[in-house]
Amino acid sequence: MHGLFFTTYYLTFTSNCYLRKLKNRGIWIKNQTSLFFTRYGTILFLIPVVFCVTIYENSPAFAQDSQPKITITVRYANDTLPTYTILADNHQTYTISQKNSWSKDDFRYNVQAYSIDKGPNIPINRMSGGNFTLDVMTDSDHSILFFAKPQFQITLHDTSNATFVPPSPTNDNWFDMGTDVQFLVPYVVPSDKQDTRQQLDGWSLDNSYINAISRQESGSFKSDIIHMSSDHTVNLEYKTQYYIKVISNFGRTLGTGWYNSGSIVDISVIPGNDIISNHVFAGWQGSTIGNQNQESVETLADSPKVMVANWSVDYTNVSIIGIVIIAVLVLLAIYQKRRTPSRI
């Protein structure tokens, strides 16, 4: 007779689930299910066994998730941005990161101050970009109120040398709504090319008519007042100028100076007073319009130029003077000889 025997196996499943909170008490239930497999001969028996462990919120396993939270409410004066709420752990330092500038309703807003819990306004070092950070101690609920200024932009074309009076509060070309602004630009802008420059000739506001500007060789032009009630566009007109130099080793020249590109330039030379030799004008060295052999000509200001007046020297007067001097000396010698009595 064969003896009877049992072979037993078991398989365990474990699951955690948060059921609900009753009477301000969180309940964790840990279910452990074990399946026992018992074999009797060729027959397999399955016996489920369920264990249930309940953990209340005052247990260490629940303590970490049950700490009280602190509410930080962030608001914006004049609703320049939506209000939002932050839940932070108690007795910690929470850092609020706020953009310095943002766009809304055709404005750019720039943060200028904040207050905590209806306290005094605290100014902020204004910047155009980046973020402003504020550390808040979470010892109690807090209310943060940010104040922002609406701004408008002045866009200047054809220059990178402009300055503003007063300067932008955000160190760029944005200005607070309602302010009056003027810009300053140099009359003359040097060029990297030799004897070439840019000369301020006019300006316009918001694509209106051109305001002519009288030519100045140095200093800065100061615009009319621009009221910042909207964005503005300023167009500057600079003209390229070339330096024309007129030189001569005799007489006096006219026409040296700066001229707008494409203009016709009158140049001339006035002969000096000859005493011994006679200077004869021999023409111009450099491109001219028309006959180069005239003392007064025109040239095109299409590049920097050096115009040289050429002269030839006629020594006829020197020869005549020399002959006269020799003749006088000969006559004096003859005269002197005749006056001297001969000796016998």
Structure tokens at 245: 């130099």
State residue 274's pLDDT score.
65
State residue 299's pLDDT score.
96
User: Would you say 278 and 313 are in contact if contact means Cβ atoms under 8 Å apart?
Assistant: yes
Q: Which are the contacts of 181, defined by CB distance < 8 A and separation ≥ 6?
A: 154, 164, 165, 166, 175, 225, 226, 228
Q: Which are the contacts of 307, defined by CB distance < 8 A and separation ≥ 6?
A: 244, 245, 246, 247, 255, 267, 284, 285, 286, 288, 299
| 297-310 pLDDT, tens digit each | 999 999 999 999 99
State residue 10's pLDDT score.
44
Q: Which residues of the chain have pLDDT under 50?
A: 1-32, 34-37, 49-63
The residue among 174, 177, 196, 180 whose CA lies nearest residue 126 is 174
User: Would you say 197 and 191 are in contact if contact means Cβ atoms under 8 Å apart?
Assistant: yes
State residue 335's pLDDT score.
72
Neighbours of 80 (CB within 10 A): 18
State residue 167's pLDDT score.
97
Structure tokens at 58: 């005052």
| 200-247 pLDDT, tens digit each | 999 999 988 899 999 999 999 999 999 999 999 999 999 999 999 999
Burial 304-324 (b: 16+ CB within 10 A, else e): ebebebbbeeeeeeeeeeeee
Q: How far apart are CA 222 and CA 117, in angstroms?
A: 46
User: Count of residues for the chain?
Assistant: 344
Burial 185-222 (b: 16+ CB within 10 A, else e): bbbbeeeeeeebbbbbbebeeeeeeeeebeeeeeeeee
State residue 315's pLDDT score.
63
Predicted TM-score (pTM) of the model is 0.67
Furthest CA-CA distance within the chain: 201
Average pLDDT of every residue of the chain? 83
Q: Which are the contacts of 153, defined by CB distance < 8 A and separation ≥ 6?
A: 108, 173, 174, 175, 231, 232
User: Would you say 172 and 129 are in contact if contact means Cβ atoms under 8 Å apart?
Assistant: no
State residue 340's pLDDT score.
66
Q: What Cα–Cα distance (Å) separates residue 55 from each residue in 19, 150, 230?
A: 11, 55, 64
Q: How far apart are CA 154 and CA 72, in angstroms?
A: 37
The residue among 187, 260, 201 whose CA lies nearest residue 235 is 201
State residue 31's pLDDT score.
46
Q: How far apart are CA 11 and CA 9, in angstroms?
A: 7
